[in-house]
Amino acid sequence: MHKLGISIYPEHSTPEKDMSYISLAHRYGFTRVFTCLLSVNGDKEQILREFKETISHANALGMEVMVDISPRIFAALGISYDDLSFFDALGAYGIRLDMGFTGSEEATMTFNPYGLKIEINMSNDTNYLNNIIDFQPKRENLIGSHNFYPHRYAGLSYDYFVKCSERFRGFQIRTAAFVHSNDATYGPWPIMEGLCTLEMHRELPIETQAKHLLATKLIDDIIVANAYASEKELASLSDVLVAEKFGLRMTLHDTVTPLERKIVLEEPHFYRGDVSDYFIRSTQSRVKYREETFKPTYTPNIKRGDILIENELYGQYKGELQIALKDMENRGKTNVVGRIHEDEIFLLDYMEPWTKFEFILE
């Protein structure tokens, strides 16, 4: 089961604002909270007291709070990897190791008596995970998450992301990745040009980022990296998570007929199993409306991402809906009725035969 999460950065906010944000996210079904304890500058006791207050609020709502921490902070707080009572007292669900140890320590930590989850960094394609597995950890307490990157162009390449994620998938370790809010204003550091795991996500709407991560089938949990996402964005992520069908944002052309509009927006669609390189076919509408008239309307040459309905010049194919996967010549037999949003055309590559899908009109 997939989960959604938010991030809070107490050093840059107030407990009141953070708790309000947590409550808002909870209303939209979010169950994870990521937060940083990468520095304890200032009044350490006050920082930890406010930290505990915020975490307690999240726990009361049934949310899981993961605390990001580095070995340096272990030393600063006088914490040993074989005694995690500090984090249990804090109310944390688990700790994320910003930088790891040797493998043996991580494995030992998974046997902590408090049941704390130990989350490790997924964004390195090294034998780090294999080393931990060699030391026989308690697997159910070991999870992973990718990094996020505030510097433009520094995010992970897609191919590298896949390699790193598949390593964790191979050991059946729960995975997470970060998306960024276009409405949020800050993260853990002063510089922030978006805050995402994948570089290709930096300019995309938040729901498109999430749809892509889910479509890879490599990521279990999706966490908003920056704060604070807008209520509209939280709602859109919730919609993506609970959607029963693969949703594609699109627009309709002014030339669309009432029947064509009904086919696009109201009829059920699935990706026909005998696959073509040129289009995704949804053929049930041509059966249901075989007695209807489909006059030629708007028939320009076809571009990848166009939504098509065959007109009566295509004989028995009239009324069939398609999504173009490649540019094609149009000989006047195909009405171009709409277009997938440019941001989401790349998602067509992740659709598989028999995928149930729907169109989301913008």
pLDDT tens per residue across span 19-35: 999 999 999 999 999 99
Separation CA 332–CA 295 (nearest Å) = 10
pLDDT of 42 strictly over 80: no
pLDDT of 305 strictly over 70: yes
pLDDT of 321 strictly over 70: yes
In the prediction, which pLDDT does 78 show?
Answer: 78
Domain ranges of the chain: 3-243, 248-361
Has domain 248-361 been given CATH number 3.20.20.70? no
pLDDT of 11 strictly over 90: no
- 8 A C-beta contact, residue 231 and residue 206: no
pLDDT band at 39 (very low <50, low <70, confident <90, very high): low
Sequence-ordered alpha helix ranges (H) in 110-257: 128-134, 158-170, 206-216, 231-242
Q: What mean pLDDT value characterizes the chain? A: 95
Separation CA 261–CA 255 (nearest Å) = 10
* CATH number among 3.40.50.970, 3.90.180.10, 3.20.20.70, 3.40.50.720, domain 3-243: 3.20.20.70
Separation CA 137–CA 142 (nearest Å) = 7
pLDDT band at 166 (very low <50, low <70, confident <90, very high): very high
Instruction: Give pLDDT tens digits for 183-227.
Output: 999 999 888 899 999 999 999 999 999 999 999 999 999 999 999
pLDDT band at 44 (very low <50, low <70, confident <90, very high): low
352's CB contacts (< 8 A; 6+ apart) are 271
Q: Which among 186, 142, 206 is positioned nearest to 343, based on CA atoms?
A: 206
Residue 340's DSSP bridge partners are 250
Sequence-ordered alpha helix ranges (H) in 91-175: 104-109, 128-134, 158-170
Q: Looking at 86-90, 299-303, 309-313, which range is the least confident one?
A: 86-90
In the prediction, which pLDDT does 331 show?
Answer: 97
**What helix, strand, coil percent values describe the chain, rounded to 5?**
35, 25, 40
